[in-house]
Structure 1
Amino acid sequence: MYPDDLTIRGVNGRPHIDAAGNQSGGKGTWVVKGMRTLIDNVELSGAAVPDRNGAAIRLDGIHLTLTNSFLHDNENGILTANDYTSDIVVEHCEFGHNGYGDGYTHNLYIGRISSLTFRYNYSHDANAGHNLKSRAGTNTIAYNRFSSTPYGVAGTTASGQPSYEIDLPWGGNSVIIGNVIEQPADNSNSNILAYAEEGVNDSNLQSLYVVNNTFLNHAGSGQFLMIGGGVTKPVFLQNNVFAGPGGIITQGSAIQRNNYASMSPAFINAASYDLHPAPGAPFIGAGAAAGFTLTGQALNPVFEYVHVAGSTARPVRSPIDIGAFAAR
């Protein structure tokens, strides 16, 4: 796909393109080479290439917006080239059971680009890889659900054994706000969120803000946040719920404020993912205003994730409730 300013939109329902291994240039199903491409309301599956690194959407151009789409059962959902002028926006999409199974292919693999905005999405059941991997210089990851389907439970795809739920291997200026981030009992790595574990690629791009998320660990042990040793700026960690076993964060200098950790927090119904605080839960009204990043980005959550791949306005309360959801 070479044209600039190209729009691809499914109409009269969501069309399903099953590549069944058919591919372009040894790269994947749709190879996008133009600028400012918009893809809306499509379902893509079956991307496979001889080197086992095929993608449903391979971005060789710059500036991609993907909305209202379902990418599943590909070797990669999205795979991008490295171009630091490129910005990518992904909204209201589902990614499931992508990955060849070798740990090197993922639901999404975003290369060294300028920025990734990833919001209101459902990314789940990566096949041994990560539910989201990004090397972008700036990452805004907001109001999503990262989780997996237990074996034997019906889902939109087969169950997977993901590695990291979120992997930001080169760090980046990153805001992670209002997400449900769940580690399944069956996983390929006990760490849930990894940041700069491969080193800091740019010393000016190493700020991490983790605010008003709900973390769930169903494994017997693990680490909620693993921070690379090369990160010198303290991670900002505020108003998060940590449910289940495991260490909170590996960075000793992290700024930790108004977080709540419990083996079994008082949710409305955790089994059905109603993670609103139950009446009387101790994390109701126990948060505090998180303020702004050093670049002026507001850290107050204004939306909540709604399944599947939706959102709704978050009620405004003071003091704020801890976690990704406000009390009803």
Structure 2
Amino acid sequence: MNKKVRMFSCHSAALPTLPRRSMIATAVTFALAAPAIHASAATLSVGPGKAYAMPCQALTRAAAGDVVEIDAAGSYAGDVCAFAVDNLTIRGVNGRPKIDAAGRYAAGKGTWVVQGKSNVIENVEMFGAKVPDRNGAAIRLDGIHLTLRGSYLHDNENGILTSNDGISDIVIENTEFSRNGYGDGYSHNLYVGHVNSLTFRYNYSHDANVGHNLKSRAKLNTITYNRFSSSGQGQPSYEIDLPNAGTSYVIGNVVQQPANNGNSNLLTYGTEGATNPGQDLYVVNNTFINDYSSGGNFILVGSTVTTPVLIQNNIFAGTGTMTNQTLATLKTNYQSLLPAFVDRANYDLRPASGAPFINAGSAPGTSASGVSLVPVNEYRHVASAQVRPVAGQLDIGAYEAAASVTTTTVVTGAPTTTTRASTTSTQASTTTTKAPTTTTQVTTTTSPAQSSTQATTTTSRASTTTTQAASTSTTKASTTTTRRSTTTTKAATTSTKASTTSTKASTTSTKAATTTTRASTTTTRAASTTTRAATTTTKASSTTTSSTTTSTAYTNPRPWWRWWR
């Protein structure tokens, strides 16, 4: 395709006569100041009546920075290719186009072999990737830096398989993975190699065919607000497998192990050797469900991991041991055979009215490197998320009790920033003061296989200041609540207190009709910037601005490097 290039020309008559040195200096200055000359990006359209009939015709002809749009109305069976283009955006339009490998593969590796850098793939459905080596991938990343969003990868030998480039950063969001895996335990819903980082958020990974629902060897893993679960369609091994450790954040996820599965452990960490630079794992505000009757470990930590794992504010439902690591730091978790969820059978895992894990969580604080551990979103089915309500003390688990939430803002995916509506909130100067001492007691019902409980966990909040990475400070002393930069409007009477504007209706502190508007608050969460839209919440009879923001190991009979070619 011909592309127009804007050319610059200079006419000598317009230039003043200068000494030779001045002319050279002027020329150098002009060269440094002038913008780069390049062809403008093009949009290549694929589909019936378009410039290209098949996606690979466009992908192999595209230039750096181009956009390839694939019309969902087309039929693309057997269209496979390898392409080495940088900064390419590939997106489905008018629906989600179906890319069926149909028995074919490119470079012996899969359907799309991505060899360039910084490419984006969004809104496509890919299936049928198979190769003679039994590790065919719908998307095989041989290049670096990939973003995948809003897609559906299913019934492949691997959904995604990446190379081992240590500088590569992978972002996967709002995507569903299902029934991927050859069935021998060596291929998975997705398999991320020894890359620099994996950001995995707002996804639904389920029913892997014997393999793992997520396997990552990345040095940094940020796994937030996803659902990992399986039914009778698959027989997964681990729900999350981080075999080489690495600094890892597992926050706000639903992790469910089915009764029919290939392993009794849900989350594993460092079980193949803690060879990554970091060994710090933060497991905060997740809901784990183990339907496997033989128990096992909810969190299995390899023997070479010497850093204590932080396990805080999690619900553990079903039989099994929270973790095998004796060094682990356990804070305000809750374990029961049958926790009080609203509707467990239909995955409404919000706390039911009166559940003992409501307002029972403790402030997560920050990681060793200063990253906020506070959950700010909740997984929303399918492969989406919503803002987690801020009301009262933090609840234990992946969901906040939300019976009185009147506004729900859906989280939309973005490469590095999550934007919720159009309101920017700033919590940097919000200060909450509570009673001198708050004692959190979690009533725990232990399973037969679980003798260790975390009941009667006491958190002293007197005169303690917790500083989050989001610049949010919560001071809990005396009984006076001071809120700066916060306006709370409550029906009827208005009274002004020190740095606080409150309007109360008669003598009722908080009622269902109470609207709390938090504007101009910016909160930085684990590896992402979050913008909160004005979220309306009411809970129990107390409205408070809640500041705050992975061994029987699975053993492969053949080495992991068997995969890489």
Decide which of 300, 318, 323 is 1:244's aligned counterpart.
318
Partner of 1:224: 298
In structure 1, what is the Cα distance between the partners aligned to 2:343 and 2:318?
15
1:208 to 2:259 alignment: no
Partner of 2:251: 177
Partner of 2:132: 50
1:143 to 2:225 alignment: yes
Larger RCO, structures 1/2 (Cα 8 Å, 6+ apart): 1
1:39 to 2:112 alignment: no
TM-score, with structure 1 as normaliser: 0.97
1:150-202 Cα offsets, whole Å, 9 max, x none, are x3xxxxxxx00000000000001000000000000000011110000001113
1:16-75 Cα offsets, whole Å, 9 max, x none, are 111122100110000000000000000000000011010000000000000000000000
Q: CA deviation at 1:223?
A: 1.1
1:23 to 2:114 alignment: no
Partner of 1:82: 164
1:99-151 Cα offsets, whole Å, 9 max, x none, are 000000000100000000000000000000000000000000000000012x3
1:276-320 Cα offsets, whole Å, 9 max, x none, are 000000000000110001111110000000000010000013310
1:92 to 2:166 alignment: no
In structure 2, what is the Cα distance between the partners aligned to 1:313 and 1:132?
24
Paired letter, 1:263: L
1:296 to 2:378 alignment: no
Decide which of 170, 179, 186 is 1:104's aligned counterpart.
186
In structure 1, what is the Cα distance between the partners aligned to 2:342 and 2:248?
30
Q: CA deviation at 1:217?
A: 0.4
Partner of 1:284: 358
1:65 to 2:147 alignment: yes
Structure 1 stretches of at least 4 aligned residues deviating more than 3 Å after TM superposition: none
1:206-229 Cα offsets, whole Å, 9 max, x none, are 100000000000011121010000
Write the mapping of 1:266-277 to structure 2, written as runs, cut at 5 A.
266-277=340-351
- What secondary structure is seen at the aligned counterpart in 2 of 1:118? strand
Partner of 1:305: 379
In structure 1, what is the Cα distance between the partners aligned to 2:368 and 2:300?
22
Partner of 1:121: 203
In structure 1, what is the Cα distance between the partners aligned to 2:391 and 2:291?
30
1:247-295 Cα offsets, whole Å, 9 max, x none, are 1101001000000000000000000000000000000000011000111
In structure 1, what is the Cα distance between the partners aligned to 2:174 and 2:252?
15
In structure 2, what is the Cα distance between the partners aligned to 1:80 and 1:229?
27
In structure 2, what is the Cα distance between the partners aligned to 1:183 and 1:143?
17
In structure 1, what is the Cα distance between the partners aligned to 2:363 and 2:100?
46
Paired letter, 2:144: I
Instruction: Answer with 261-270 or 312-321: which moved more.
Output: 312-321
Paired letter, 2:253: N
In structure 2, what is the Cα distance between the partners aligned to 1:3 and 1:76?
22
1:68-93 Cα offsets, whole Å, 9 max, x none, are 00000000000000011000000000
In structure 2, what is the Cα distance between the partners aligned to 1:309 and 1:296?
28
Paired letter, 2:243: P
1:167 to 2:235 alignment: no
Partner of 1:6: 88
- What secondary structure is seen at the aligned counterpart in 2 of 1:271? helix
| Identical-residue share of aligned pairs (%) | 63
Q: Between Structure 1 and Structure 2, which shows a larger proportion of helix residues?
A: 2
In structure 1, what is the Cα distance between the partners aligned to 2:307 and 2:373?
18
In structure 1, what is the Cα distance between the partners aligned to 2:143 and 2:370?
30
In structure 1, what is the Cα distance between the partners aligned to 2:385 and 2:371?
20
- What secondary structure is seen at the aligned counterpart in 2 of 1:256? strand
Q: Between Structure 1 and Structure 2, which shows a larger proportion of strand residues?
A: 1
| Greater Rg over alpha carbons, structure | 2
Paired letter, 2:138: A
Runs of 5+ in structure 2 lacking a partner? 1-82, 403-565
TM-score, with structure 2 as normaliser: 0.56
Paired letter, 1:68: G
